[in-house]
Chains A and B, each alone.
Chain A
Amino acid sequence: MLFIAPVIQTIILGYVVRTDITNIPIGIINLSSSLESHRLLNRLASSALFKIKLVSSSPVNAEEIFRRGKCKALIIFRDKFQSPPEGNNFFAGWPEIQVLLDGTDANSAMIAAGYFYGLLGHYLETKIRHSGQEILLQPKTIIRFNPSLRSIHTMGPAIVALLLTIITLLLTGIGLVREKEQQTLDTLLVSKLTPLEIFLGKTLPMATIALIEMTLGIIVVRLVFGVRPRGNLAFLYLAAVVFLFSLLSIGFLISLLSQTQQQALFFCWFTMLLFLMLSGLLTPLENIPAAFRWLTAINPLRYLIAIIREIFLKGNNLAYFYQDILIMAGLGFVAFLFSLSVFRRSVIK
């Protein structure tokens, strides 16, 4: 269970994040009889980015269509009333274009609009070239580190880190609580073991399991999704050990502060979501309001994910991310000292 669950989840989540946004359902309302609108329509139909759910040659009620959730965008071609300005007959006969977007999912809607702009621009460029004119400004874009822009390369290894977090945090989080509930904690406390020994005894097995799980996860993303690291994996294990130290200290702290397993469950859930949502994995971290920025600064998962990206995609070596490792170690140390002091106090009681 402990080993199979992460493998299955890595595979499923890998497929989820591998899917870049495509197949956006759109509708085309063609009120123009021009050749250009017809050609553009064909272009849209042959693109994998869009899935045309509706083609109409008469006006429709856009709001009702969006309300039913059938399309996320509507593209309308309409004949122009005015003839084009003097001396500019290149675009004579072009329809007027209007794009209506369902703002419910603003993110997808803007991506759809972006795709449409791209398609239109490409079409225009071909037209201009065909007419024998030259396009003057020619941007040449190079994508570094992930040239195919596949999001599995961005997300795949990070998902391994995520699963690692969930499992280790929970298992250490309930570690001592179970003993509290079953009244075996007192036996542990009156024993000659020092708090440090108890901490190590409770967390070392977890750390071992976690490292094995991480190895499994890396093998899975490699075999199933073909994501291979550019950098040295030894650095990743170093980072993972430091990360686990901070995570296990936090888990130990949770288990000291909770009285029942249910409380530990809720604390773990809270911590996991906080780490996940503030990790930069799901949303960009750049525009987090300043008042909340410190929350990302104390999130060990954020540093691990940054390091994973540097090792897997950029092939960076330790010199680039040793600071991140030091910060994680510092965070772990603070949590560790705090949990030890809480532990000592409960021993005195």
Chain B
Amino acid sequence: MERLKAVIVKEFIHIRRDPRSLVIIFALPLVMIFIFGHVLSFDLKKIETLIIDLDRSPLSRDLITRFAAAPLYKIYSLENQGHAEKRAAAAQDYLQSAERWLRQGKIKQYLIIPRDFSRRLAANFPSPVAVVIDGADANVATRLYQYNERIFKSFFFPTKSIEMPFEVKIKMFFNPEIASTPFIIPGLVAALMLMISALLTSLSLAREKETGSIELLFISPLRSPDIILGKTIPYLLVALIVGLVIFLFSHFFFGLQVHGSPLVLFLTAVIYILTGLSLGILISTVAPTQKVAMLVALLGTILPSIFLSGFIFPLESLSPALRAFSYLVPATYFLRILRSLTLKGASLRHFLFEASVLLAISLFLLALAIRKFSTLRRASA
């Protein structure tokens, strides 16, 4: 215990001697939360849509109004005017420009209402409407397609002799305004906290390897667990304070609320941070240089925490193999805890499982780091 304390005190002195790094460690995550909280959103709004109306009838204008009323679209409409021959030539022009704008990305989709649209509908005869969507962003295109269909259906049912027989009522639980911020902010906090804690410890031993001071540690009377834990624990405090600041910041700027018990949040956060630190210290023990440690730490935390944790891509949609992989990503568990706590107000028993898995992962990583360190030590002796 005495030895462990000595290592911890020494590490704290190191941290205190480098105030510039400390400022960077605190400031950068805050800047990120501030920017990303404002910028990241899945909502689609004002999608540039061109409607080429060759019919120019009250019915076709009614359809355009329905599109214009939805906040999803920003409507530009082209109407045909003038004599019949001129109109045919202009229609050709419109099509060519529409194609060009779609290719340039100036519009995301265009609709063509054919010339005999209202005449056919009035005669109870089916009429097509052409829709051309830019599929380059598959997600946006899918959602546009779905939304278009809904508008078309709202248009055709009331004009038919049959009334829409029922209304599908939608009720959204926990997040009635359907905002994506309450969903994104917890994900952001979870991803950032893991990255920060892993980055904090990932260089410590690798640095000592580069400067050669690791030899001093090897021949010291300190036991390997003392060294590994002593190099980890001080950063638990640093990362916790960073986490707390991030949390308060998200609370005041983005309305992040804790509905469950704050104590539960604190306990799970400590475990989660420990997981990140353990991952970092393991990387640091294995990597021969700081450069390698950094590459592993960045590639190993940024991409899994963003892509495989459920932060952006829902886990249900992953293939079974990747799903299994996502269970190895610590952010997956804390994300679930944090989202439950902030949106649903669940209590500890709901995620006892997640907390224990995180604890198990940390202990496993720490044990691995200690073992690896002992091996290195024996090899150098």
Contact = CB atoms under 8 A, between A and B. Distances in A.
- Tell whether A pairs with B: yes
Contacts of A24: 314, 316
B131 interface: yes
B173 A101 contact: yes
B18 to A, nearest CB: 7
Contact of B199 (A20, A101, A150, A265): A265
A136 B127 contact: yes
Contacts of B120: 136
Nearest to B170: A99
User: Among the interface residues A9, A98, A104, A120, which one has the most CB atoms of the partner chain B within 10 A?
Assistant: A104
A272 to B, nearest CB: 7
Interface string B288-320: 001110110111001100111000111011110
A286 B45 contact: yes
B150 interface: yes
Given A23-B316, A145-B134, A94 B302 contact: no
Given A68-B350, A292-B35, A141 B175 contact: no
Interface string A310-321: 100110100010
B152 A63 contact: no
Given A16-B307, A137-B152, A170-B298, A289 B103 contact: no
A333 interface: no
Interface string B18-48: 1011001100100110011011111111110
B350 A100 contact: no
A270 B28 contact: yes
A67 interface: yes
Interface residues of B, number: 112
Nearest to B345: A67
Given A5-B299, A99-B168, A267-B24, A15 B38 contact: no
B267 interface: no
A75 B120 CA distance: 37
B173 A167 contact: no
B89 interface: no
Interface stretch (A85-93, A193-201, A203-211): A85-93
A13 B314 CA distance: 14
Contact of B143 (A101, A111, A133, A270): A111
Contacts of A153: 138
Contacts of A280: 137
A16, A24, A68, A261: most-surrounded residue (chain B CB, <10 A): A16
B137 A154 contact: yes
A3 interface: no
A104 B126 contact: no
Given A142-B132, A270-B32, A287-B45, A5 B138 contact: no
A138 interface: yes
Which of B140, B210, B336, B344 has the most chain A CB atoms closer than 10 A to its own CB? B344
B95 interface: no
A342 interface: no
Interface on chain B toward A: helix, strand, loop, or mixed SS? helix
A24 B314 CA distance: 9
In the complex, which range does the number of interface residues on chain A fall in? Answer: 35 or more
Contact of A138 (B20, B129, B175): B129
B180 A107 contact: yes
A9 B303 contact: yes
B324 interface: no
B322 A117 contact: no
A128 B161 CA distance: 12
B195 interface: yes
A291 B37 CA distance: 13
Given A13-B303, A16-B318, A146-B136, A88 B174 contact: no
A274 interface: yes
A149 B135 contact: yes
B317 A137 contact: no
Contacts of B213: none
Nearest to B206: A261
A284 B44 CA distance: 7
A147 interface: yes
A102 interface: yes
Nearest to A108: B314
A144 B303 contact: no
Contact of A272 (B129, B298, B321): B298
A95 B290 CA distance: 65
B291 A15 contact: no
Contacts of B180: 106-107
B166 A139 contact: no
A66 B316 CA distance: 15
Contacts of A114: 143, 146-147, 150
B162 A88 contact: yes
Contacts of A102: 173-174
B131 A142 contact: yes
Interface of A: 1, 5, 9, 12-13, 15-17, 19-25, 51, 62-63, 66-69, 72, 80, 84-85, 88, 90-91, 94-111, 113-118, 120-121, 128, 133-147, 149-151, 153-155, 166-167, 170-171, 174, 178, 181-182, 259-263, 265-270, 272-274, 276-278, 280, 282-284, 286-289, 291-292, 295, 306, 309-310, 313-314, 316, 320
Interface of B: 18, 20-21, 24-25, 28, 31-32, 35-36, 38-47, 102-105, 120-121, 124-143, 145-150, 152-153, 155-156, 159-160, 162-163, 165-166, 168-176, 178-180, 182-183, 195, 199, 202-203, 207, 210, 290-292, 294-295, 297-299, 302-303, 306-308, 312-314, 316-319, 321-322, 325, 336, 339-340, 343-344, 346, 350
